[in-house]
Structure 1
Amino acid sequence: MNGKHFAFAAISLLSTTMIKAQAKPEDTEVWKPVPKVVTPAKTIGEAPSDAIILFNGKNLDEWVDVKDTTTAAKWLVKHDELTVNKSSGNIQTKRRFTDYQLHIEWRVPKNITGKGQARGNSGVFLASTGAGDDGYEMQVLDSYENETYVNGQAASIYKQHPPLVNASRKPGEWQVYDVIWTAPRFNEDGSLKSPARVTAFHNGVLVQNNYELQGATRYIGKAEYKQHGPSPIKLQAHGDKSEPLSFRNIWVREL
């Protein structure tokens, strides 16, 4: 190394040393904005302080009939549980949501009969885009030792994406879904700007990891997107002949 190169290297090293010497821990500390305070629940699964309670075990004040949204939901409320009324059809929230965190618990009867898709079938539509079964469905089903197509078992994004694992408990035991929903965005012309995404835990086990949805649920044919805005959450009264299942402890946090 000649004298000029040595001098340049020495100056560079000295400059770097001086910069490091002048740096302070406070340089990388961020103080604003301060996150708001949310009081967590005293027990796991209960609602935190900023949650919207969608079912408190007492009434269906937050729900309406899907066929006629001016009519109150007609499912059965008893013993702090909400039981599907198949004759009255699907129900959905009065409120509409975009992005959110959802907690919902469900249970198929201990004496459940049937097999495959005819075994405690229901669904949580993370965004309902119309009457009937339109929207983005996370499947509810007894998948404990019950064989069916994998993108139709419990915790699947129905007819799109199987769960990463089968974390189902036995019939008669309460199951838990914790879901992070990011709604799709659309351009002014109705074209898709960004797809919907979902992260979900089934009984505390990761089953959907930031999955990018292909569109709204379709029973026949491929999923597709159609422009929509904030949407209600919907619960399905499936037409199978197995015993109806129940829900409890439903709450949501808007993100």
Structure 2
Amino acid sequence: MNSFIVFKHKMEMKQFLILALLLPGLTLTSAAQEPQRAKPEETEYYSPVPPVVTPGAGFSDAPSDAIILFDGKNLDQWINSKDSTAAKWTLGDNAMTVNKSVGDIQTRSSFTDYQLHIEYRIPSNITGSGQARGNSGIFLAALPWGAGGYELQVLDNYKNTTYVNGQVGSMYKQAVPLANASKKPGEWQTYDVVWVAPKFDDHGILKSMARVTVFHNGVLVQNNTSLLGDTPYIGQPSYRKHGAAPIKLQSHGDKSEPISYRNIWLRLL
């Protein structure tokens, strides 16, 4: 046999033996380095159990854990903002209508973080233009100083233009809405709001800004918006330490026909 062929055969046999010895070791090393297989149970937990809440029959109906602020029957949950006497807006057809001779009204109770549902109607015979057309406002936390709180604007902006940070769906003079979802005057419209109040430390230093999410007629118009402070008509927003606060409905000073509210409920968060 040719000596070269013998040499080549021996080298191949040697390489085969080396691989045969090494491969089991390599297999063992890989197995040792493989992480232990996780079990699905390791990422499952069963407490705390969320509370059971029964939804309303329709989207606008109050769920089982809601606080009813107005059901069309009476104004027991509301007081006049000026003097804290019983609210004197006009009741009729399961709604309450702004009484401009009385002024603003607000809830008897105070709240911090909540989910709010409220419906309003601009009168079909509305007159005026710009800010003087169906103007009102929902103060998500009413304060006795400065701008009076944090106002979610209510206004007729169906074919009625005004400054965009003052149109319906805006956090007044501060946050422009993402869309104009206005319905025609005479139709009931809805706001669904998630309000997270600002938090302060014991020295009055702001720890976290107020945040608000708003759906107007089912359309998202404020998406977890952070506020720089209250919502003044003139000047810049600012914060001052406060805790839980009432919700206020505005009786605006313009001369247009007064608007109405109905079906107001709230869930604490």
TM-score above 0.5: yes
Counterpart position of 2:74: 59
Q: 1:15 to 1:232 in 2, by over 3 A?
A: same
Number of equivalenced pairs: 249
Q: Distance in 1 between matches of 2:27 and 2:103?
A: 77
Q: 1:32-78 CA distances to partner (integer Å, 9 max, x unpaired)?
A: 11111000001120100000000010000000010112x10110111
Distance 1:9 1:185 in 2: 59
The root-mean-square deviation of aligned C-alpha atoms, in Å, is 1.9
Note the C-alpha offset of 1:217. 1.2
Aligned-residue identity in percent: 62
Contact 1:66 1:132 in 2 (8 A): no
Q: Equivalent of 2:227, from 204, 213, 232? A: 213
Q: Which runs of 5+ in 2 are unaligned?
A: 1-20
The answer for unaligned runs of 5 or more in structure 1 is none
Give the conservation status (yes or no) of the 8 Å contact 1:196–1:212: yes
1:167 aligns with 2:156: no
1:185 paired residue number:
199
Q: One-letter code of the match for 1:107?
A: R
- Tell me the alpha carbon deviations over residues 135-184 of structure 1, each in whole angstroms, 9 at most, x when there is no partner: 00000000111010000000100000110000000111111000000000
User: Does residue 137 of the first structure (1) align with residue 137 of the second (2)?
Assistant: no
Shift of 1:15: 3.9
Mapping 1:1-255, distance limit 5 Å: 11=29, 14-16=32-34, 19-20=36-37, 23-69=38-84, 71-130=85-144, 134-255=148-269
**8 A Cα contact 1:67 1:132, kept in partner:** no
- Please give the per-residue CA displacement for 1:180-233, whole angstroms capped at 9, x wherever unaligned: 000000111112111000001000000000000010111100010011000000
TM-score by length of 2: 0.88
The answer to whether the Cα contact below 8 Å between 2:147 and 2:230 also exists between their aligned partners in 1 is no
- Computing the radius of gyration from Cα coordinates, the structure with the larger value is 2
TM-score (norm: length of structure 1) = 0.93
1:208 aligned counterpart, secondary structure: strand
Q: CA deviation at 1:8?
A: 7.8
